[in-house]
Amino acid sequence: MKNQEKNKARRSFLKKITLGSMLVSSAPYAMAGSYKQRLIMEGRNYDEKRYAANDHVNLALIGSGIIGIEDTKTALKVPGVKLVAACDLYTGRLDRAKELWGNDIFVTRDYREVLNRKDIDAVIIATPDHWHKKITIDAMKAGKAVYCEKPMIQQFEDGHDMIKAQKETGMLCQIGSQGMSSLGNEKARQLYEDGAIGDIVMLDMYNDRYSSEGAWQYPIPPDANPDTIDFDTFLGRAPKVPYDPIRFFRWRNYRDYGTGVAGDLFVHAFSTLHYVISSLGPVRALSTGGLRYWKDGRDVPDVTITLYDYPDTKTHAAFNAAFRINFIAGSGGGYGFKLVGTEGMMEVGQNSVRLVRAKLGMKPSGYSLAAYTKENQKKIVEEYDLKFLDSRKSDLKIGETIYEAPSDYKGGRYDHFTKLFKAMRGEAKVIEDTTYGMRAAGAALLANESYFAGKPVGWDPVNMKLT
């Protein structure tokens, strides 16, 4: 932000420190004049309208695995949505779909049969990453609105083809990064634009896991065999290999089908970061790491650290982002997403934002004064006291605020689906279209590009290309 815009934003924030939200509790810090408070964010006005049967959005699920089921469960909570079909390459998941949603839904192992149905308005695509491009483009050409799970792409060139298809077909396509439409993201964006943290200096994101499931070692069902799994179709554009149920059910562990921790986890953080600060993305990435523990045949690292450089733009100062993933975190696990600025810090979640504004220490302490005589120490202190007479006033602007979602909040995933279905009815716009999805996934996949090349890589965030 330019200086005039920055100053205006900061003044705006200082006026709003305790306005616009419901105060839950407040207590003073030890330092006089600072604050500590919890505020409830303004909730959603959820649409409880009842729709006639012929006004329902008829939905189909393509890829009825873990995330596909979670997505569908959430989508069906939105009024006016009905599931009519499910597709998966493993018959056990089709049986599970009927257990969940009734024997009357249409099930198939061929996604093209879903797209050929005239009664389907929208599809959820929750397949392995290497199928996203093909099925998404085919779905849009078939006249279906699309909710494609993140990451939108497996390879950089996929994105431009998907963007082109969306423009040519005019169909809606929303990329599924669950926190994008959340109250937490919206509050963080408002606070950032109001100048709450000053100029951004760093983004610190980490995701620690300490379980086999968290490291993608999903269980293999006892009925898995070449008859119940269409393994050849699963391979798609990937290299041909003999039937292997481990590759099928634990596909995230392989570069042939997935995108590693970058595509699974980084992309969520990029979606949120770019939304909060209105950014197009980084210009450089450097990644390191290794396979430290889960040596189960996977060819992607289980520990990785990636550093990103962001340029100075109209909406943010130049800053650095650090992304860290540890799949063998002996500490027990945890997650963090922290925006650090020149005047404060925000920890952002889907349901909450923790804002801390600290005071920049500008006066010398005993540590640096110890090398001078007592007479010079006194003169230095007096000089700094005169220079920073307004320090007491600045003390009143520091403290901690936790913004929390109201108890009836239905969550970011629900909000994301609601936006898509409202957009289908002409009542809203999608928040993460193919261009947005490409920028989030492209930034994430720079980590893989750098890691496997063993060197830094450049990125053009405007044209979405490697440099």
Residue 351 lies in a domain: yes
- Same domain? For 449 and 377 the reply is yes
How far, in Å, CA of 452 to CA of 166, rounded?
31
Does 28 have pLDDT greater than 50? no
Give the pLDDT confidence of 344-382 residue by residue, as tens digits.
999 999 999 999 998 888 889 889 999 999 999 999 999
Strand 399-404, strand 122-125: pairing? unpaired
- Same domain? For 71 and 131 the reply is yes
Give the pLDDT confidence of 278-303 residue by residue, as tens digits.
999 999 999 999 999 999 999 999 99
Q: Which of 176, 202, 230 is where one domain is finished?
A: 176
pLDDT at 17 (0 to 100): 55
pLDDT at 66 (0 to 100): 97
- Same domain? For 285 and 141 the reply is no
Q: Which of 120, 151, 176 is where one domain is finished?
A: 176
Residue 422 lies in a domain: no
Residue 287 lies in a domain: yes
pLDDT at 29 (0 to 100): 42
Edge-to-edge strand order for the sheet containing 57-62?
106-108, 81-87, 57-62, 122-125, 145-149, 173-176
Residue 131 lies in a domain: yes
Residue 244 lies in a domain: no
- Same domain? For 133 and 14 the reply is no
How far, in Å, CA of 178 to CA of 414, rounded?
8
On whether the CB atoms of residues 148 and 175 are closer than 8 A, the answer is yes
| Overall residue count recorded for the chain in this entry | 467
- Same domain? For 188 and 172 the reply is no
- Same domain? For 203 and 348 the reply is yes
- Same domain? For 278 and 386 the reply is yes
> Is 108 buried (19+), middle (13-18) or exposed (0-12) by CB count in 10 A?
middle
pLDDT at 395 (0 to 100): 54
pLDDT at 303 (0 to 100): 98
Domain count, the chain: 2
Residue 79 lies in a domain: yes
Q: Which of 117, 148, 176 is where one domain is finished?
A: 176
pLDDT at 70 (0 to 100): 98
Q: What angle do CA 53, 56, 59 make, to 5 degrees?
A: 125
Residue 83 lies in a domain: yes
- Same domain? For 315 and 200 the reply is yes
Give the pLDDT confidence of 32-54 residue by residue, as tens digits.
457 899 999 999 988 778 888 88
Cα-trace Rg, the chain: 25
- Same domain? For 194 and 287 the reply is yes
Task: Identify the CATH number of the domain in which residue 73 sits.
Answer: 3.40.50.720
- Same domain? For 97 and 21 the reply is no
Residue 26 binned pLDDT confidence (cut-offs 50, 70, 90): low
Work out whether the CA dihedral 92, 248, 213, 354 comes out positive or negative: negative
- Same domain? For 358 and 213 the reply is yes
Residue 310 lies in a domain: yes
Task: Identify the CATH number of the domain in which residue 318 sits.
Answer: 3.30.360.10
Helix (H) or strand (E) holding 414: helix 412-424
Give the pLDDT confidence of 91-133 residue by residue, as tens digits.
999 999 999 999 999 999 999 999 999 999 999 999 999 999 9
Beta-strand (E) ranges in 110-199? 122-125, 145-149, 173-176
Average pLDDT over all residues of the chain: 93
Domain range enclosing 79 = 53-176
pLDDT at 18 (0 to 100): 47
- Same domain? For 186 and 329 the reply is yes
pLDDT at 397 (0 to 100): 73
Helix (H) or strand (E) holding 70: helix 66-75
Does 197 have pLDDT greater than 50? yes
Does 389 have pLDDT greater than 80? no
pTM confidence score: 0.91
pLDDT at 12 (0 to 100): 59
Nearest to 278 by CA among 463, 436, 167, 160: 436
Give the pLDDT confidence of 252-279 residue by residue, as tens digits.
999 999 999 999 999 999 999 999 999 9
Give the rounded percent of residues in the chain with a pLDDT score beyond 90.
85
Does 10 have pLDDT greater than 60? no
210: its two tokens: 């300490």
Residue 5 binned pLDDT confidence (cut-offs 50, 70, 90): low
Q: Identify the three-state secondary structure at position 413.
A: helix
Give the pLDDT confidence of 130-174 residue by residue, as tens digits.
999 999 999 999 999 999 999 999 999 999 999 999 999 999 999
Give the rounded percent of residues in the chain with a pLDDT score beyond 70.
91
